[in-house]
Structure 1
Amino acid sequence: MAERNPIPKLAKAFFRWYCKPQRYEELHGDLEEFFYNRLETEGLHKARLFYWYNVLRCCQPYAWKVPKLMRNSVPLLKSYFKTSVRSMLRNPLSTFINVLGLSVAVGVAMLAFAFTQYVYKKESLHERRDSVYLTTFVADRDGTPKTYGNAPAPLGGLIQENTGYTVARVQKGSVIVKEEEQIFTEQLHFVDPSFLQLLSFPLKWGNPVALEDKNGIILTETMAEKYFGGRHPIGQELQLIFGTGRSQVFTVIGVAFDISPTSSIYFHFLVHFDNLQLAQPALDLNNWQDFLTATLVEAPSAAEATALLKKMDSYRPVQNEAAPDWAVTEFGLEPLASVYLASAEVHTPLVNPGSRENQMSIYFLGTLSVVILLLACFNYLNMAIATAAKRLKEIGVRKAIGAHRARVMAQFLIENILLAGIALALGLVLGLTVTIPGFEFIHSFDMGFTLWDPILGWFLLFTLFLTGIASGLYPALFISRIQVVGIFQKKVKLGQGNRLTKGLLGFQLILSCISITCAVFFTQNADYVGQRAWGYEPKGVLYTPVANGEAYRTLRDALEQKSYVRSVAQAEHHLGKNHRSTVMQQADRPYEVDEMRVGEGYATTMGLRLTDGRWFESDTDPGVVINELLAETLGWNDPVSEFITIQGERLPIVGVVQDFHKYNFDTPLRPTLFRLSREEDSRYLAVSVSPEAAPEAYEELQVLWAESFPEIPFDGEYQEDIWGPYFSEISIHGLFWRMIAVIAMLLAGLGLYGLITVHVSGRLQEFSIRKVLGAEGWHIGQNISRKYLLLFGIALSLGAPASFFMIRFIFEIAYPYHMEVHWLGVTPALILLLGVLLGVVLSQVYKLKKWNPVRGLRLE
Structure 2
Amino acid sequence: MLQNYFKIAVRNLFRNKVFSFINVAGLALGLSCCMLIALYTKDEVSFDRFQKNKDRLYRVTVSMTGEKESSTTGSTNAIHGPTFREEIPEIEAIVRMQSNSFVTKKGNELLSENVVFVDDNFFSVFSMPLLAGEPKTALAGVNSVVLSEDLAVKYFNTKDALGQTIDFKIGENFEAFTVTGVAKRCPQNSSLQFDALLSFKFQEARGWLDNAWLGFYMNTFVLLHEKANYLSVVPKLDRVFYTKAREELSQQEGFKQRVHFDLQPFLQIHQASEQYELRNGLDHGSKPIYSYILTGIALFILLIACINFVNLTVARSLKRSKEIGIRKVVGSLRKQLIYQFLGESFLLSLVAFLLGIVLTLAVMPTFNELANKQLALSYLLDAGLVSAYVALFLLTALVAGFYPALVLSGFSPVQTLYNRTKLTHKNYLTKGLVVFQFALSVCLLIGTIVIYSQFNYLVNKDLGYNDEQLLSFSMGRGRGGQEKLAVLMQELEAIAGVESVAAFNGHYNGTGAKVDGRELGFGYIGVDDNFLPTLQIPVLQGRNFSQRFPSDPTDAVIVNEAFVKEAGWREPIGQEIDFFWKNQKMKVIGVIKDYHYASLKEKIAPLLLTQDPNYGLRTVFVKLRTGQAEQDVPGAVKAIESTFRKHVPLMPFEYRFEDVTNAKRYEAEAQWRQMITWATILSIFVSCIGLFGLATFSAETRIKEIGIRKVMGASAAAIVALLSKDFVVLVLLAIVIASPVSYYGATLWLENFPYREPIAWWYFAVAASLAIAVALATVGYQSIKAALMNPVKSLRSE
TM-score of the two chains, using structure 2 as the length reference: 0.89
Corresponding residue number in structure 2 for 1:233? 161
Work out whether 1:818 is the aligned partner of 2:747. Answer: no
The one-letter code matched in structure 2 to 1:466 is L
2:195 aligned with 1:268: yes
Return the letter of the residue paired with 1:199. Answer: F
Query: Where in structure 2 are the equivalents of 1:365-404 lying within 5 Å?
Result: 365-404=294-333
What is the 5 A alignment of 1:238-249? 238-242=166-170, 244-249=171-176
Q: Return the alpha-carbon distance in structure 1 between the equivalents of residues 283 and 517 of structure 2.
A: 33
The answer for the alignment partner of 1:250 in structure 2 is: 177
- Cα distance, 1:203 vs structure 2: 1.3
Cα distance, 1:666–1:480 mapped onto 2, change above 3 Å: same
Q: What's the CA shift string for 1:310-365, capped at 9, x where partnerless?
A: 5532232332541544955332222222233344333453464674x532211211
Secondary structure of the corresponding residue to residue 332 of structure 2: coil
Cα 1:535–1:352, aligned 2, differ >3 Å: closer, same or farther? farther
Contact 1:386 1:494 in 2 (8 A): no
Partner of 2:261: 331
Aligned position for 2:661? 722
> Is 1:218 aligned to 2:146, yes or no?
yes
Note if 1:171 corresponds to 2:110.
Answer: no
Q: Distance in 2 between matches of 1:97 and 1:448?
A: 28
* CA spacing shift, 1:622–1:402, aligned 2, 3 Å: farther
Instruction: Check if 1:134 corresponds to 2:59.
Output: yes
The answer to whether the 8 Å contact 1:203/1:254 transfers is: yes
Match of 1:700, SS? helix
Mapped pair 1:610 → 2:535: no
Q: Does 1:837 align with 2:775?
A: yes
User: Residue 477 of structure 1 is aligned with which of 406, 410, 413?
Assistant: 406
- The corresponding residue for 1:118 is 43
Assess, with a 3 A threshold, how the Cα gap between structure 1 residues 165 and 808 changes in structure 2: closer, same or farther.
closer
Deviations 1:360-409 (A, max 9, x none): 21121122112212211221121122222122222223333443333322
Correspondence list, 1:576-725, <5 A:
578-585=507-514, 590-617=519-546, 618=550, 620-648=553-581, 649=583, 650-678=585-613, 681-693=616-628, 695=633, 696-725=635-664
Q: How does 1:462-611 map to 2 (within 5 A)?
A: 462-494=391-423, 497-547=426-476, 548-562=481-495, 564-573=497-506, 578-585=507-514, 590-611=519-540
Please name the residue that 1:438 is paired with: 366
Give the greater-gyration-radius structure (CA).
Answer: 1
Aligned mates of 1:326, 1:195 — CA distance in 2 = 36
Q: How many residues align?
A: 775
Question: Given the superposition, is the C-alpha separation of residues 840 and 165 from structure 1 closer, same or farther in structure 2, using an over 3 Å criterion?
Answer: closer
Give the Cα separation in 2 of the matches to 1:621 and 1:271.
Answer: 39
Q: CA deviation at 1:469?
A: 1.7
2:703 aligned with 1:776: no
Match of 2:241 in 1: 315
Q: Residue 253 of structure 1: CA displacement?
A: 1.9
SS in 2 for 1:698: helix
Q: Distance in 2 between matches of 1:180 and 1:588?
A: 58
What amino acid is the match of 1:303? A
Structure 1 residue 668 displacement after superposition: 3.0
C-alpha displacement at 1:533, in angstroms?
Answer: 0.6
Deviations 1:691-710 (A, max 9, x none): 13481432211121233334
Secondary structure of 1:530 counterpart: helix
| Letter matched to residue 174 of structure 1 | S
CA contact (8 A) 1:570 1:679 kept: no
**1-structure distance, mates of 2:295, 2:150:** 33
Q: For 1:357-368, what aligned pairs fall within 5 Å after superposition? A: 358-368=287-297
Q: Which residue of 1 aligns with 2:113?
A: 186
Contact 1:389 1:494 in 2 (8 A): no
Deviations 1:191-229 (A, max 9, x none): 111111111111122222221122221111222222223
Counterpart CA distance in 2 for 1:554 and 1:120 is 54
Q: Which stretch shows the higher mean deviation, 370-379 or 342-351? A: 342-351
Q: CA deviation at 1:545?
A: 0.4
Task: State the 1:789 CA deviation.
Answer: 3.1
Question: Which of 416, 419, 426 is residue 355 of structure 2 equivalent to?
Answer: 426
Deviation at 1:591, TM superposition (A): 4.4
2:132, 2:181 within 8 Å by CA — same for their partners in 1?
yes
Where does the alignment leave 5 or more consecutive residues of structure 1 unmatched? 1-74
Q: Does residue 150 in structure 1 map to residue 75 in structure 2?
A: yes
After TM superposition, give the deviation of residue 158 of structure 1 in Å.
Answer: 2.2
Give me the whole-angstrom Cα distance separating, in 1, the residues matched to 2:472 and 2:614.
16
- Say if 1:488 and 1:859 are closer, same or farther in 2 by CA, change over 3 A: closer
Distance in structure 1 (CA, Å) of the matches to 2:353 and 2:717: 41
In structure 2, distance between residues paired with 1:100 and 1:179:
54
Q: Which amino acid aligns with 2:437?
A: Q
Deviation at 1:546, TM superposition (A): 0.8
> Partner residue of 2:228?
303
- The residue matched to 1:201 in structure 2 has which SS? coil
- The one-letter code matched in structure 2 to 1:626 is V
Q: Mean alpha-carbon deviation: is it higher for 215-224 or for 583-592? A: 583-592
C-alpha contact (below 8 Å) 2:691/2:779 kept by paired residues:
no
% identical aligned pairs: 27
Aligned partner of 1:97: which letter?
I
Structure 1 residues 788 and 344, CA, compared in 2 at 3 Å: closer, same or farther? Answer: closer
For residue 341 of structure 1, what is the aligned residue in structure 2?
271
**Structure 1 residues 149, 806: closer, same or farther in 2, change over 3 A?**
closer
Q: Which residue of 1 aligns with 2:11?
A: 86
1:269: how far off?
0.7
| TM-score, scaled relative to structure 1 | 0.83
Q: Distance in 2 between matches of 1:789 and 1:409?
A: 34
The residue type equivalent to 1:170 in the other structure is: M
Contact 1:136/1:151 (8 A) holds in 2: yes
SS at 1:303 equivalent:
coil
Question: Given residue 539 of structure 1, which amino acid in structure 2 is its aligned partner?
Answer: E
